Chains A and B, each alone.
Chain A
């Protein structure tokens, strides 16, 4: 068995790959600790993997850490050195907190799981991203891997050619501090949203902006592709993330585009400043799309490959993917369900496997979309009194529960689902979801605002079967795999009423999910046919600021803290009395 872990910088996670190279278990630490974006050493995740698979440290052949710790420590320091005295606080903070950085990986492993420290491997950060995407690709050779994130252990963007899983040659890279991910995060911060959480909001807000407006142009000009030197250029005078502890943008950015937004002021569609902030978001989004288009084009030039692996945090920018997929030289883009750092634990585990097995087996099966093993038996006993006191049993037979869910959805209800194993990535794909009729404006609005308290400019994703997706949306053949995990948006089809669906965004796009067979959502969509419901609105089962639910207790807590009335569980359908 082979373990991979990611931690200390963004969300931490642990993945387990078996002796045949198949992903068999994966947990994000936030799911278990209930602290959103938890980046601490994934002690709970590793422990849970051991428990669920009856393993101990002796069963693990190697454990791989997702980056080279010393490089990750040194490179930001060397950059900060060039900006002394401005960067002195950042430098002293780096030294004072070295025990919270990747450098403490060895100590944390040896303290929590004695014996495992002798089996540690370290993989290049961008290689772990590449391998994560490779796990999800049917094709294992002649691929181009594009990794775009905030900062890895040396570069921020890279292009590699995957000749085989054992030969992955890096052909180009972009050095820190020039970073697409950190640029977008700085704009996120400027717009008053939480860094590493609010980037989705910027993406949603951007659709309301005018990318030809003056302010938008000012932002988009800060980041550009230098075609002569084949380099990404970012005007660092406007950003401070590489020299300051507290500020990601510099005072110069304020003089360029005005005061940052007060994060506590609600951002409503008709507010006087709404357009200003939307234009700033549109400028950032435009810059990202332009750079990505150039990067894909350059990748094709230097690798000649028409099949792409796209990973790193920026690959979660689903709104940009649709335009990229239209490039004529692209046959396929594989985006893993969790393209960010949490998902790179899978790549790290895969690296462990490859390093210990020189004969690669092509029989490795693609990982499931729900790899986080969850056993509900204990929870059934534990929740007995919670349910008997605060919930009414509607049905305890699953087939009957599904039918009842169909009826409730058709009457405009929102249903929470907490059934089976949970999802890999940040997007709920049906097992930890809140769903309702995707054509019912009132139900979608209730889900979005009353239950989830989401910003009004963030649409809810629609999910449907393939034939329905073809009917309403312009699907890109290159993105068929990404649609299964809500990895890309697509355009509403002209001549259909999909524009007016409550799940469609203002720019006439939707972040669709095409459901796979043998999934809960597919079964429900089958039942809903008799009610003429073809599309479900699907959002993650959680409340704003919390991680997606992991177990039944988390799901019941959502009912207790919100107006959600129904929850479908592994042992029936319940109605909340809260």
Chain B
């Protein structure tokens, strides 16, 4: 059961990551300065949407074999992309990064994604159809990486090959730190949970002292309520 849950989790998280990428590329398409760039981002976004569909379909096939109580936890919900960190509350990457850094980000992350899919390939090795679908996705990722590289070299010709390597090393390190940070956050969450619960318990005791019965507005003209009051 634990293995199955891990499998579902990998598929859900990968689908979420791909969906996040699709939205990032769509945002890049909409803010492009040239129609040729917009075309590239559009096609990239379309591919990422299709990858999401593939992973959700693999997830769905596995989750329907599970008891409903467990399967319910693996429903895909696009709003959770914010809390899972696949999208930032501050905006899309294209809105917060310089264009050069954004392209570098795509260049390195597509390669890293391809590498991570090799791990997923091992998980689905017994299923011919899923294996093929993931191999196709890996090819797409390599193609996206190639486009980003081409773009990079065309528009930033002064960049040396070592600089591309530097970008990759930087992103790899960032990804590792992200994973460590995520792990620590979860660990801290577990360790500190009793404290949070205790704080919540005392917090709510204080709140219980606040009399909310006067919040009842029956018989009152709602337009006369104070408009600067948050209560």
Contacts of A154 in B (CB 8 A): 212, 215-217
For residue A561, CB closer than 8 A to chain B, the reply is yes
Select from chain B the residue with minimum beta-carbon distance to A91: B200
Contacts of B89 in A (CB 8 A): 40
- Are B42 and A94 touching (Cβ within 8 A)? no
Among B201-231, those with CB < 8 Å from A are 201, 203-205, 207-208, 210, 212, 215-223, 225, 227-231
A68-B230 contact, Cβ under 8 Å, with A36-B78, A169-B221, A382-B38: yes
Q: Mark A34-54, 1 if CB is under 8 A from B, else 0.
A: 111111100100000000000
Give 7 nearest A-B pairs by CB, closest first.
A92-B200, A385-B39, A264-B63, A91-B200, A264-B64, A262-B68, A384-B35
Contacts of A363 in B (CB 8 A): none
Task: List chain A positions with a Cβ less than 8 A from chain B.
Answer: 33-40, 43, 64, 68-71, 74-75, 77-78, 80-81, 84, 88-89, 91-96, 103, 120-124, 126-127, 130, 154, 160, 165-173, 189, 192, 194, 259-265, 351, 354-355, 381-386, 389, 545, 551, 553-554, 556-557, 560-561
Select from chain B the residue with minimum beta-carbon distance to A106: B230
- Are B23 and A34 touching (Cβ within 8 A)? yes
B44 to chain A minimum Cβ distance, whole angstroms, is 11
Among B58-105, those with CB < 8 Å from A are 59-60, 63-64, 66-69, 71-72, 74-79, 81-82, 87, 89, 91
Determine the distance from Cα of A54 to Cα of B41 in the docked complex, in whole angstroms: 29
Contacts of B38 in A (CB 8 A): 382-383, 385-386, 553
- Are A167 and B223 touching (Cβ within 8 A)? yes
B32 to chain A minimum Cβ distance, whole angstroms, is 6
- Are B72 and A382 touching (Cβ within 8 A)? no
For residue B14, CB closer than 8 A to chain A, the reply is no
B16 to chain A minimum Cβ distance, whole angstroms, is 12
Task: List chain B positions with a Cβ less than 8 A from chain A.
Answer: 23, 26-27, 29-30, 32, 35-36, 38-39, 42, 45-46, 49-50, 59-60, 63-64, 66-69, 71-72, 74-79, 81-82, 87, 89, 91, 193, 196-197, 199-201, 203-205, 207-208, 210, 212, 215-223, 225, 227-231
- Are B63 and A166 touching (Cβ within 8 A)? no
Determine the distance from Cα of A94 to Cα of B196 in the docked complex, in whole angstroms: 10
Which of B46, B68, B216, B218 is the one whose CB lies under 8 Å from A261?
Answer: B68
Which of B49, B74, B207 is the one whose CB lies under 8 Å from A557?
Answer: B49
Select from chain A the residue with minimum beta-carbon distance to B45: A557
Which of B30, B78, B222 is the one whose CB lies under 8 Å from A551?
Answer: B30
A262-B219 contact, Cβ under 8 Å, with A38-B79, A81-B207, A194-B75: no
- Are A169 and B219 touching (Cβ within 8 A)? yes
Contacts of A130 in B (CB 8 A): 222
Determine the distance from Cα of A385 to Cα of B210 in the docked complex, in whole angstroms: 62
- Are B35 and A386 touching (Cβ within 8 A)? yes
- Are B197 and A68 touching (Cβ within 8 A)? no
18 interchain pairs (CB within 8 A)?
A: A35-B82, A35-B87, A43-B91, A71-B212, A71-B231, A78-B212, A91-B201, A103-B230, A126-B222, A154-B215, A260-B69, A262-B71, A381-B35, A382-B29, A386-B39, A545-B76, A553-B26, A560-B42
Sample of 7 further A-B pairs with CB below 8 A, known A154-B212, A170-B217, A557-B49:
A84-B204, A95-B199, A262-B72, A263-B75, A264-B60, A382-B30, A561-B49
Determine the distance from Cα of A451 to Cα of B91 in the docked complex, in whole angstroms: 30
B219 to chain A minimum Cβ distance, whole angstroms, is 7
Determine the distance from Cα of A253 to Cα of B226 in the docked complex, in whole angstroms: 42
Determine the distance from Cα of A218 to Cα of B220 in the docked complex, in whole angstroms: 38
- Are B197 and A92 touching (Cβ within 8 A)? yes
- Are A35 and B35 touching (Cβ within 8 A)? no
- Are A84 and B42 touching (Cβ within 8 A)? no
Contacts of B63 in A (CB 8 A): 262-264
Determine the distance from Cα of A122 to Cα of B69 in the docked complex, in whole angstroms: 40
Determine the distance from Cα of A106 to Cα of B227 in the docked complex, in whole angstroms: 14
- Are B69 and A170 touching (Cβ within 8 A)? no
Determine the distance from Cα of A211 to Cα of B76 in the docked complex, in whole angstroms: 31
- Are B231 and A81 touching (Cβ within 8 A)? no
Contacts of B75 in A (CB 8 A): 194, 263
